[in-house]
Amino acid sequence: MTYNSIFRPELFQDQTIVVTGGGSGIGRCTAHELAALGAHVVLVGRKQNKLEETAAEITSDGGRVSWQVCDIREEDTVRQMVSTVVSEHGSIQGLVNNAGGQYPSPLAAINQKGFETVVRTNLVGGFLVAREVFNQSMCRTGGRIVNMLADMWGGMPGMGHSGAARAGMDNFTKTAAFEWAHAGVTVNAVAPGWIASSGMDTYDGAMQAIIPKLKDSVPLKRLGSEAEVSAAIVFLLSPAAAFISGASLRIDGAASQGSGAWPLPPAKNNDAFEGFHRAVTPEILKAGD
Determine the Cα–Cα distance for residues 48 and 28; give it in Å rounded to an integer.
Answer: 14
- Position 96 scores a pLDDT of 98
Closest CA to 141 of 191, 175, 78, 95: 95
Confidence of residue 10 (pLDDT cuts 50, 70, 90): very high
Residue 45 or residue 207, greater confidence: 45
Query: What letter would DSSP give residue 138?
Result: I
Neighbours of 165 (CB within 10 A): 27
CA separation for the pair 221, 166 (Å, rounded): 25
pLDDT at 210 over 80: yes
Whether residue 218 has pLDDT greater than 60? yes
Average pLDDT over residues 211-233: 94
Predicted confidence at residue 204, as pLDDT, reads: 73
Side chain identity at 208, as an amino acid letter?
Q
pLDDT value at residue 287: 62
Out of 73-77, 89-93, 194-198, 245-249, which region has the weakest mean confidence (pLDDT)?
A: 194-198
22 close to 43: Cβ distance less than 8 angstroms: yes
Length of the chain: 289
Q: Is the per-residue pLDDT at 177 higher than 70?
A: yes
pLDDT the model gives residue 80:
98
pTM here is 0.95
* Selected residue with higher pLDDT from 200 and 112: 112
- How far is C-alpha 63 from the chain's CA centre? 20
Residue 104 CB coordination number (10 Å): 15
Coil vs helix vs strand at 163: helix
**Cα–Cα distance for residue pair 128/224, rounded to 1 Å:** 29
Q: Are 11 and 235 in contact (CB under 8 A)?
A: no
pLDDT at 195 over 70: yes
pLDDT at 186 over 90: yes
Buried b (16+ CB within 10 A) or exposed e, 272-287: eeebbebbeebebbee
User: Percentage of the chain surpassing pLDDT 90?
Assistant: 88
Average pLDDT, the chain: 95
Rg, Å, the chain Cα set: 18
Mean pLDDT computed over 39-61: 98
pLDDT digits (tens, 9 = 90+) for 239-289: 999 999 999 999 999 999 988 788 899 999 999 999 999 999 988 888 645
Q: How confident is the model at residue 178 (pLDDT cuts 50, 70, 90)?
A: very high
Of the pLDDT bands very low, low, confident and very high (cuts 50, 70, 90), residue 203 is: confident
Mean pLDDT value across residues 166-183: 98
In the chain, what are the domains?
A: 16-288 (3.40.50.720)
**Do residues 36 and 63 lie in contact, with contact meaning Cβ atoms separated by under 8 Å?**
yes
CA pair distance 3, 61, nearest whole angstrom: 9
- Residue 200 neighbours by CB distance under 10 Å: 21
* Rounded-to-integer distance, Cα 16 and Cα 67, Å: 12
Which range has the worst mean pLDDT, 113-127, 142-156, 223-237, 259-273? 259-273
- Cβ(48)–Cβ(70) below 8 Å: no
For the chain, give the percent of residues with pLDDT over 70.
99
H-helix or E-strand spanning residue 69:
strand 64-69
- Pairing of β 64-69 and β 40-45: parallel
Identify the CA nearest to 28 among candidates 41, 11, 15, 14: 41
Lowest-pLDDT choice from 66-80, 132-146, 239-253, 256-270? 256-270
